[in-house]
Amino acid sequence: MEPYRIKAVEPIPFPTRTERERALARAGHNLFRVPAAQVTIDLLTDSGTGSMSAAQWAALMTGDEAYACSTSYVRFETVVRGISGFDEIMPVHQGRAAERVVFSTLLGPGDIVVSNTHFDTTRAHVEVTGSEARDLPCPEAADLDSDQPFKGNIDLRALADLLAGPDGHRVKAVVMTVTNNGGGGQPVSLDNLRRVRAVCDEHGLAFLLDASRFAENSWLIRQREQEHRHREPIDIAREVFGLADVFWASLKKDGLANIGGVIGVRANPDLAGRFRQLVILNEGFSTYGGLAGRDLEALAQGLTEVTDPRYLADRADTASWFAETLHKAGVPVIRPAGCHAVYVRAGEILPHIPAHQFPGHAWSCALYLEGGVRAVEFGSLLLGSGGGTAPHELVRLALPRRVYTRSHLEFVVEAAIAVGRTADDLTGYRIVGGSPALRHFTAVLEPVAFP
């Protein structure tokens, strides 16, 4: 059960079917453009959508808004140091701000960065420097039916081959994303991370950690990697951070707050100085990084709550219960589930809709019309901007932290079952407007008529 009780509640909207149809049409059939007031259950993202605890709300009031070296910064720095062991800690306003600082400093044209999978903003910030972002996910990641426990791992053999080959000298860094958000929220094992450290030592590469879901990954290591089953999640997290040279995180995830990010640098005052200069240029003085003192307080408190084993056990259990319940109801999903989302295999539910007519998008729109549930397509609409198609046509049902109970998710399961009953009647979509960069945010679409 949830290891907390509810102290403040917020009513949720219940638009009628007609209102939902109107809202979707007005939004150009793009769920990013549907007003939140027309959404009953919002599973669009787990980023910045969590509930804060009573202790976090209380901490907000103690926010010190001094411009430099505020008390709130000192508290934030102390907490982040305690978890990460890094000496230089710089807050920034969110994850992509950290990526901009890190990559514009470390990379130049022609460099290669390798990752288990770059998250989309990570890839964009690598590419904008003229470098190449190369994903080397483990082979099991492509197999939706594999029950391999660590489908977020990097392919160590492919990494060794790349380093031994003609492009080897261009590789500057390895980015490990925990958990692997772009790869379905799958965890990375501690064994895989330790081996990456050894490869980086051998070849003089920087080990960069995208730690946005460090607590969830630590929990999944404890659950799935035999030798760590008795360790505390905070202890596993400390070891993971200890492997990296530089880390950053979007604290809109495991920071348990609504905004924030952080960069950490270990034992490299020169590099920290270069990062600090860019933080000051882009974000604000390096002890607030675009955040208010009260945000730093909420984050410091959230970061002490997120490694609580009871919280993490409930989060992981809820995700796996949600995935298993959908599966048993005949809705195909990726299993085993991670922590932050369940991915529906929409391409298999709607085999009559070709990839270029976005079956995942069709399923998401149908789910919204059925129950007012907002999800996001993770298929050829989101991944196929270059004109290509995605390997799988998925829909992500993200789980905001501490927001919805299981009965809310039962409602989502019922809506998903109802969509399945109408599958044969659903049609694809085509894009008729919007801008090409990250096109899923702005696309205007219309349903394709049956031939």
Ligand X SMILES: *Cc1c(COP(=O)(O)O)cnc(C)c1O
Residues near ligand X (CB under 6 A): 47, 94-96, 119, 121-122, 177, 181, 210, 212, 250, 252-253, 261
| Nearer Cβ to ligand X (151/253) | 253
Q: 213 in helix, strand or coil?
A: coil
| Nearer Cβ to ligand X (28/187) | 187
Give the whole-angstrom CA distance, residue 232 versus residue 235: 5
Q: Least distance in Å: CB of 140 to ligand X? A: 20
Q: Least distance in Å: CB of 45 to ligand X? A: 8
CA dihedral sign, ordered 21, 22, 23, 28: positive
| Nearer Cβ to ligand X (83/262) | 262
For the chain, helix (H) and strand (E) counts, in that order, are 16, 14
Q: How many CA atoms lie within 13 A of 444 on its CB side?
A: 8
Q: Which of 438, 288, 426 is nearest to 352 (CA)?
A: 426
Q: Which of 130, 133, 139 is nearest to 171 (CA)?
A: 133
Consecutive H or E run containing 41: strand 41-42
| Nearer Cβ to ligand X (370/377) | 377
Q: Least distance in Å: CB of 103 to ligand X? A: 12
CB 174 within 8 A of CB 364: no
**Cβ burial, residue 57 (10 Å; 0-12/13-18/19+):** middle
Q: Least distance in Å: CB of 16 to ligand X? A: 33
Q: Least distance in Å: CB of 181 to ligand X? A: 4
Q: Least distance in Å: CB of 96 to ligand X? A: 3
CB 108 within 8 A of CB 127: no
| Nearer Cβ to ligand X (96/276) | 96
| Nearer Cβ to ligand X (30/94) | 94
Q: Among all residues, whose Cβ is closest to ligand X?
A: 95
